[in-house]
Amino acid sequence: MEKIAIYPGSFDPVTNGHIDIITRGLKIFDRIIVTILENPSKTLLFSLRERVDLLSESLKGIDNVEIASYDGLLVDFAKQRNAAAILRGMRAVSDFEYEFQMALMNRKLEREIQTVFLMTGLRWIFTSSSIIKEAAKFGGDIESMVPEVVKNRLEEKFNVRINHRPS
Ligand code: PNS
């Protein structure tokens, strides 16, 4: 039977760190369903439609990936789709408490679905959608951290030019 994982998140917007987790997750799972869900504690920059479009553009050419969105509990969607696991990336220790709480709550809600963590690649350890948006707003060089289509959309949103600065 096909081993399916749900890779859930806000993806506001998708970053190279997310793509790294997806491509590495595909070495473990047969199919990954990248799923946009609501995180009530986040204020969003991009609409659902925009986030779906940015994900589809960014994941072009990667097989066995599907993009979905769901308005409800992650575990309900995972069950609907017969997923064996929820895939999450873990960066620094600062991610741990939140991820631990979420994994335990999801396990309490649905015992049959396992949460699997992949450590973010060192290159992406400081990459987060929030910090990227903050830097991009003021024209900071985030070019190496996001797919080109995301960089372009950030420039349009904030009406800035993001110039590459060699580090
Ligand atoms: O990228 P994020 O914002 O860290 O992702 C968090 C997300 C969207 C995965 C999480 O908030 C979520 O699962 N939302 C759906 C509602 C739910 O099932 N919450 C977890 C149990 S309380």
CATH code, domain with 55: 3.40.50.620
Q: Name which residue leads in pLDDT, 164 or 79.
A: 79
Number of domains in the chain: 1
pLDDT bin (cut points 50, 70, 90) of residue 138 is very high
Beta bridge partners of 119: 90
Closest by CA position to 80, among listed 112, 108, 51: 112
Residue 144 lies in a domain: no
Write down the H helix ranges in the chain.
16-25, 48-58, 74-80, 96-109, 129-137, 148-158
Residue 42 lies in a domain: yes
Asked if 160 contacts 139 with a C-beta cutoff of 8 angstroms, the reply is yes
- Residue 9, ligand 1, Cβ within 6 A: yes
Tell me the one-letter amino acid at 129.
Answer: S
- Residue 8, ligand 1, Cβ within 6 A: yes
11-64 pLDDT tens trace: 999 999 999 999 999 999 999 999 999 999 999 999 999 999 999 999 999 999
Answer whether 0.95 is exceeded by the pTM. Answer: yes
If one residue of 7, 51, 55, 74 were mutated to test the ligand 1 pocket, choosing by the most ligand atoms within 8 A of its CB, it would be 74
pLDDT mean across residues, the chain? 96
Q: Residue 89 gets which letter from DSSP? A: E
**Residue appearing with tokens 């960089």:** 151
Q: What does the block give as tokens for 97?
A: 């408490």
pLDDT bin (cut points 50, 70, 90) of residue 92 is confident
Residue 131 lies in a domain: no
Asked if 153 contacts 54 with a C-beta cutoff of 8 angstroms, the reply is yes
Domain that holds residue 29: 4-125
Beta bridge partners of 117: 88
Residue 94: the pLDDT is 86
